[in-house]
Chains A and B, each alone.
Chain A
Amino acid sequence: MAIKYTIQGLLIYAAIAVYLLAFVITLLKQRKAGHGLFFAGFLLAAVAIGYRWFDVRHIPLQNLFEVFLVLGTLVYPISVFCNRVLRIGGVAADMLIGVIVLFPAGFVFNAEPMQLPPALQSWLFGPHVFVYMLSYILMTKAAVQAASQLSGGISKNNLLSPEEATYRMVCAGFPLLTLGLVLGSVWGQIAWGDWWGWDPKELWSLASWLVYVGYLHFRYMFGKRHPRLNSTWAILGLIVILITLLWVNLSRLFPGLHSYAM
């Protein structure tokens, strides 16, 4: 664990602190103040991204530090969208997700700026990674709702029940997960000459996509008759996503074409 004594680092730490404060305040039933702090944390994280972008002179999605910084920023707009448009709660949990994803960016991952290798200099680089990040946040929210369902949570404020919310989040995240996979495949064809290379990262990405394919088919076949199984399936999906995002890049078990994304 290393503390970053830089403007970038300070912005991230401030965002983490404000997200955490927002979480505590929301738990204390001060919803408006909590939301205001959540928004402030988002602004701090967004400034940290802008700072990074200016520093590295390319869209900051190259390594795990940048990816987690972006994830920590996306939490707020996705939370607002889900709450207002999709009628899905869990705003307090979203604040905590913001803390959890910003923590490794602040304390674990190396923030040394890197120049883009030739393979990453493609118009598909930004869309491919960004779409995946959006879907990962949505699937994380789905898993939170699923955990809430398993722990006996009930719907509040005319929002959807946790089981229905899980399903709706998966419905929102799955097309993006599909698009991320497809864009990655098209990029692989353009850069390396293979639209599918059987690389460990590709296979884990396929596995995570297939887990959600399985979830959607199972939910279609049985509806809400097995809510605990539906929820477990959604949580399993997030576990496979975490392996795809973290373990594949950090472990030496999976050397491959995506090794630069550390």
Chain B
Amino acid sequence: MEQAGLKKSLRSKRLISWANLVMTLILTAISIYGAFIGADKAQLLFNSIPLSVYWLAFTVLLITGIVVLPRLLHIRGLFLAHTGCVLILGGGICGSQAGFKIWDSLAHTDTIRSGQMVIREGETDATVEIDTQKGIVKPLPFAIKLVDFRLEYYQPEQIMIQTRIGESFKIPAEPGLKHTLNANLGTVEVVKTFQKFRMMTSNGKMAAFDDPNGGPNPAVELRLIGPDGKESTKYVFERFPGHTNPGDNLAFSYHRTIRDFISDVEVVKDNKVVARKSIEVNKPLHYGGYLFYQQGYDSEAGRYTILRVTNDRGLGVVYLGYILLCAGAFWHLWFRHTLGDREIED
């Protein structure tokens, strides 16, 4: 009787090990398939009902393994790593679309999972666009005011010069800088850079200037000195690269590379400013259970910002899972086996 019980117990342990291996292989195959269909379709696939069932089953299987298999329970590294996986799956399920739906139906709430906000400079907004195509919006329990939006560029900015025979030169757009291309092409001098370039006639002459009331039109003024000493002025525009006249030997383009885009925002609750933050890429605002990310901006005039809004539900559990998974993997595989010189017992 005792032997039969032992056999049964061994069989069930082996079954769990096999089931775990099969589930891992299935997930490997689906991941590879998901990589071929693109992120949007993959997201739908991994959030579909069959895959939701799979996630739940895998989580339950891992928990069963931890409880039933003595190795997973008693060997510290294995316990940490597998518990970490359970937490990651659990946190992922909580933060998934299905997780939000279930939570909202049980708690009778209508929580924002993710969306975006488009806020103009100086304006305050408390609505999140959930589905821009269908026009679905949801309110936040507080408002966000965009105080200022700005773009920062790498310095120095660059001017690219191309000749008709395919030679190319890259020179920094630094006013005062003179660059001799070669004996046949002459010299290029950077005179001035403009952010809001405009031209106007003054005393019968055309003059370029920065118009504080105009829209963005970055440009650079160049003085070209030919091999014969003849001088001419050339304006190169960032938005209209490579413009040449039939007689031109050189084609110019003006390049600026964005270093950062920053939204200075205030969080307003009950007509009071409760938080301030400069949101940048990699520096989101975390407030009231929501995260606000710098997603995009008005590329034409730089007058509005686009913030991505996500709910942080389940995130802490996932992060805890990550810590346990890494701790368990290093503990077991590095300190126990690789450096501790212990072989896995069969």
Contact = CB atoms under 8 A, between A and B. Distances in A.
A199 B35 CA distance: 7
B80 to A, nearest CB: 12
A171 B337 contact: yes
Central interface residue in A164, A217, A248, by most chain B CB within 10 Å: A217
A55 to B, nearest CB: 14
Interface in B121-142: none
Interface string A189-224: 111111111111001101100110110011111111
A121 interface: yes
B38 A86 contact: no
Chain A interface size band reads 35 or more
A190 B283 CA distance: 7
A225 B346 CA distance: 9
Contacts of B330: 175, 179
Interface stretch (A43-51, A150-158, A253-261): A253-261
Interface string B318-330: 1100100110011
Contact of B293 (A85, A172, A193, A225): A193
Interface string A168-187: 10011011001100100110
Interface in B322-345: 322, 325-326, 329-330, 333-334, 337-339, 343-344
Nearest to A248: B35
Contact of A200 (B38, B294, B329, B338): B38
Contacts, number: 135
Contact of A199 (B32, B39, B283): B39
A204 B36 CA distance: 10
A178 B325 contact: yes
Range, interface on chain B: 35 or more
B329 A207 contact: no
Contact of A171 (B46, B293, B333): B333
A115 interface: yes
A250 interface: no
Contacts of A217: 17, 20-21, 24
Contacts of A85: 339
Interface stretch (B97-105, B215-223, B253-261): B253-261
> Main secondary structure on chain A at its contact with chain B?
helix
Interface in A110-136: 115, 117-119, 121-122
Given A118-B259, A198-B34, A172 B315 contact: no
Contact of B310 (A164, A193, A220): A193
Interface in A84-108: 85-86
B282 interface: yes
Given A171-B337, A193-B291, A253-B36, A179 B326 contact: yes
Contacts of A121: 259-260, 281-282
B233 interface: no
Interface centre among B28, B283, B330 (most CB of A within 10 A): B28
Given A168-B338, A175-B326, A204-B32, A192 B42 contact: no
Interface of B: 14, 17-18, 20-21, 24-25, 27-28, 31-32, 34-36, 38-40, 42-43, 46, 92, 114, 154, 257-261, 280-284, 291, 293-295, 308-310, 315, 318-319, 322, 325-326, 329-330, 333-334, 337-339, 343-344, 346
Given A198-B40, A206-B31, 8 more contacts: A175-B326, A175-B330, A179-B329, A182-B322, A185-B322, A199-B39, A219-B344, A223-B344
Interface of A: 85-86, 115, 117-119, 121-122, 164, 168, 171-172, 174-175, 178-179, 182, 185-186, 189-200, 203-204, 206-207, 210-211, 213-214, 217-225, 248, 253-257
30 contacts: A86-B338, A118-B258, A118-B259, A118-B282, A119-B282, A164-B343, A174-B329, A175-B330, A182-B326, A189-B315, A191-B282, A192-B293, A192-B308, A193-B114, A193-B309, A195-B318, A198-B42, A200-B35, A203-B34, A204-B31, A207-B28, A210-B24, A210-B31, A211-B28, A214-B25, A214-B28, A219-B344, A225-B346, A248-B35, A256-B38
